[in-house]
Chain A
Amino acid sequence: MQHSVTWKIGGEAGFGIMSSGIMISRAFARGGYHTFATNEYPSLIRGGHNVITVRVSSEKFESMNRDIHILVALNKQTIDVHKNELNENAIVVYDAKDGELAAADFLKPVKLLAVPLRDIVQKASGDPIMRNTVAIGATIAIMGAPFEFLVTVITDQFAKKGEEVIKHNMDIARAGYDYIKTTFPQEQSMYLSPAQKIEDQLIINASEAVGVGAARAGLKFAAIYPMTPINSLITFLADHAKSLQIVYKQPEDEISGINMAIGAALGGVRSMVATSGGGFALMFEGVSWAGMIEAPVVIDMGMRVGPSTGMPTYTEQGELQFIIHAGHGEFPRIVLAPADASEAYQMTVDAFHLADKYQTPVFILTDKYLNESTWCAPKSVFTKDVVIDRGKLLKEVPADFKRYDLSVPDGVSPRSVPGQKNGFYYANSYEHDETGHVTDTSAGRIAMSNKRLKKLETMREDVRPPTVYGDAEAEYTFVTWGSTRGPVLDAVKLLQAKGKKAKLVHYGWMYPFPVEETMKLLSPATRLIDVEQNATGQLASLIREHTGILIKEKLLKYDGRPFYPEEIIERVEGKV
């Protein structure tokens, strides 16, 4: 009996690998388990090698672990590529028609479960592509769960295709389940310990979570040019545009996207863009303009491996410094970096609030790992009340209105929208006076620049200090940000299980940088370890820049694959 099992399925792109992983996640999440799924695939539509890994546990966890307990191979390549990742006594499910396997083919002892995936599908008059459905049924049996776990999942998955398709898939999954139960009844080593269902969980990726957050925050307009890894946000917004009464527009390029979104913001609606580094490189000028004319706009910046086109379908945290500094000239901005899907939701809600409050660009720094991993997140997080406050957006405009009123103590002037009576002003790309007329006087420039930058000080009331996890007095103090929280948190737990004292200082609010809190938290630390998914330690640089604190020990990973907690442990213990 296991409390946590990690399952991996691999096959050619187009074999339904992703949907298999999501269905397994959903089945166990509905059954009260915690799940998490990560995928790996090349930038191809068909023919490449695709895998999805799902961790299922009766206890809460934060990241993907490294060792695989069950490997389901829909082709021979899956065995070749992943055989060395297997845990001792792992189970390998394969079809002998893809090639016979022997124990000697593997580094560690494994249990080979030959399941005639092709024959089962053929017997049920199914298409060979439905082998994944047999595999899902077999998986449920191997993990000791009742077949009922799959029934509603399959029903929902194929609901749009009608009763016949649902029944066909159900029969094929059942055949896979029954095959394990009858052929390998003694194989119970991967049975999961029972879980208690406490509340409904969502099976959701962070891009979808951003979409839900945006919808709840009152998003009305989004202009997003397709790019990995933010495409599922496009799908979500486009699918729900009608019911949510929003406009999603696919622009001709990212330059157009950011300018459309700013135009809509000037027109009085909450608006956003999403992109990745290469696309964002085209948006600089627009972001700078938004800073100048004080337009509220939200930017979901999904990081992936760079520079340039890089490795488009792999993850990295390489854009922190880029986003903090992007755009010519000096203007205020806010940068938030969520750690999981729940935070991606909440930070999106916050981002729209902050954008309106401070009338300036706000970034949500996501990445491929967040956006394309399938998280298990409590539904209650997504249903909490959201208060929509449009800040100083005027309903009625007074007769003596000045859009860029310099007398405001917080740097944020009331704003009107075109069409409002008395609200006339210019949203001017040039330096301007209180009405928006151009100015290049010394006094005029200084006053308006000060007003804009005053917002950086006002933002202090909203700056969120880093979150501290683990032991107050610690031998190891890890420092990380955004999505690397999960693996480091699990690494902290592993160290604690060994009797060591460890803690994590995690940054979610990146900019304006929480200076004083950082001084307090990091100055007394004995062994500071910076953990980042990039090659240069960008958070460590930021900390150095703002506090003078130098973090010498850096644990960096930049091969496009997210950290495993086990490798963090090995590296801090000097085993690699």
Chain B
Amino acid sequence: MTITADTFKTNFLPTWCPGCGDFGIWMSLKNALAELGIGTDDGVAVYGVGCHGNMYDWMKIYGVAALHGRTLPVAQGLKFANHKLPVMVISGDGDGLGEGGNHFLHAAKRNPDISVFIHDNQVYGLTTGQASPTAKAGFQTKSTPEGVVDEPVNPLALAITAGATFVARGFAGDGPGLTAIMKAAIEHKGFAVVDILQPCVTFDKVHTYAWYRQRLYKLEAEYVPDNEIKAFERAMEWGDKIPVGIFYKEVKPTSEDREAALVNGPLRDLPLGVTNLDELLKEFI
């Protein structure tokens, strides 16, 4: 059976607000998976808690609805159990960079073969509109009525410095562009981070589709994403002009590549128990 976006249809309909950026991300993910031939039984998606995390109910692929902030440890455990299985993380700016910030740093340095899609809308939508870690200074939310006073987290700069081997930014309002980036992220062998800008149509009247469209531009065709310092410089661009595209890409041994046990195939297929018990107990005699 050919895998298409419809392959992932369930009996549940999205509960997101009409116009939510999550729709665009969801569509692009389905298209990317279909184009890569990854169907319902062929991969696993790990979701955090937040508006983004509700996606699983209308996404028919093996799913793990994890605890808030804990997607990355769960995804790494799954990947160790079967490193042949595509593992995708659907996370949010609050889930992945607030509650899960420490996991993000350490996953990046280990370089597990996992793709991470961060739904970045600067707010906590599911709890009705508080500021998220990526909220820009001055942004008024329910938890920051006078405007955000702290500096925002820059997910791209953080990912680059932490050691992620694929770092990109996409836009929920650009289906084809985002699909291409997501495909590249899933195909990348290593820790791939895609920060996806998305408007929150209910709790953010500032960063609208129009606001983004006025500012976003694609990284130039001649830009080569092979230099951490240059990638970092481009990642720091924010204001009237905001770049999207693949900022950085590097091929390095993955977390799984470094485990001797995995040379012989997925962990879950290996024989169980101890073959040479006398040898194992020798040190205790």
Contacts and interface: CB of A to CB of B under 8 A. Distances in A.
Contacts of A200: 285
Interface residues of A, number: 71
Contact of B41 (A245, A255, A266, A422): A422
Contacts of B67: 259, 285-286, 289, 429
A253 B103 CA distance: 9
26 contacts: A30-B285, A200-B285, A202-B281, A212-B280, A215-B273, A215-B280, A240-B280, A241-B260, A245-B260, A251-B106, A256-B106, A258-B73, A263-B75, A263-B78, A264-B78, A265-B81, A267-B268, A270-B272, A285-B67, A289-B66, A383-B281, A417-B268, A418-B82, A418-B85, A419-B41, A422-B41
Given A259-B73, A266-B64, A379-B285, A426 B56 contact: yes
B74 interface: yes
Contacts of B74: 259-260, 262-263, 266
B273 A264 contact: no
Nearest to B54: A438
B78 A221 contact: no
B63 A436 contact: yes
B285 A256 contact: no
Contacts of A437: 10, 12, 57
Interface string A17-52: 000000000100010000000000000000000000
B130 to A, nearest CB: 20
Interface in A203-256: 203-204, 208, 212, 215-218, 220-221, 223, 240-247, 249, 251-253, 255-256
Contacts of B76: 249, 260, 263
A513 to B, nearest CB: 28
A426 B103 CA distance: 22
B221 interface: no
Given A217-B273, A260-B74, A263-B73, 4 more contacts: A216-B277, A253-B102, A286-B70, A425-B62
Nearest to A256: B73
Given A252-B106, A259-B73, A263-B78, A428 B62 contact: no
A420 interface: yes
B85 to A, nearest CB: 5
A75 interface: no
A251 B102 CA distance: 11
Nearest to B73: A259
Interface in A275-317: 285-286, 289, 293
Contacts, number: 208
B90 interface: no
A271 interface: yes
A322 interface: no
B262 interface: yes
Interface in A460-492: none
Contacts of B63: 425-428, 436
Nearest to B65: A428
Contact of B77 (A201, A262, A422): A262
Interface in B46-80: 46, 49, 54, 56-57, 60-67, 70, 72-80
B40 interface: yes
Interface centre among A26, A220, A386, by most B CB within 10 Å?
A220
A263 B62 contact: no
Nearest to B77: A263
A367 B74 CA distance: 28
A418 B274 contact: no
A218 B285 contact: no
Interface string B237-268: 00000000000000000000001111010011
A268 interface: yes
Contacts of A245: 260-261, 264, 267, 270-271
Interface of B: 10, 12, 40-44, 46, 49, 54, 56-57, 60-67, 70, 72-82, 84-85, 102-103, 105-106, 259-262, 264, 267-268, 270-274, 276-277, 279-281, 284-285
Q: Max chain A CB contacts within 10 Å: which of B60, B79, B274?
A: B274
Contacts of B80: 221, 247, 249, 260, 263-264, 267, 269
B166 to A, nearest CB: 21
Contacts of B64: 263, 266, 293, 418, 426-427
A426 B285 contact: no
A129 interface: no
A342 to B, nearest CB: 12
B260 to A, nearest CB: 4
B208 to A, nearest CB: 30
A430 interface: yes
Contacts of B279: 243
Contacts of B259: 241, 247
A423 B43 CA distance: 11
Interface string A386-421: 101000000000000000000000000000011111
B273 A220 contact: no
A438 B53 CA distance: 12
Contacts of A266: 64, 74, 77-78, 81
A149 interface: no
B57 to A, nearest CB: 6
Contacts of A243: 276, 279-280
Contacts of B85: 267, 418-419
A264 B284 contact: no
B191 to A, nearest CB: 14
Contacts of B12: 437
A424 B280 contact: no
A261 interface: yes
A203 B284 contact: yes
A191 interface: no
A130 to B, nearest CB: 22
A220 B270 contact: yes
A261 B73 CA distance: 8
A202 B284 CA distance: 5
Contacts of A217: 272-273
Given A245-B270, A418-B62, A426-B64, A268 B281 contact: no
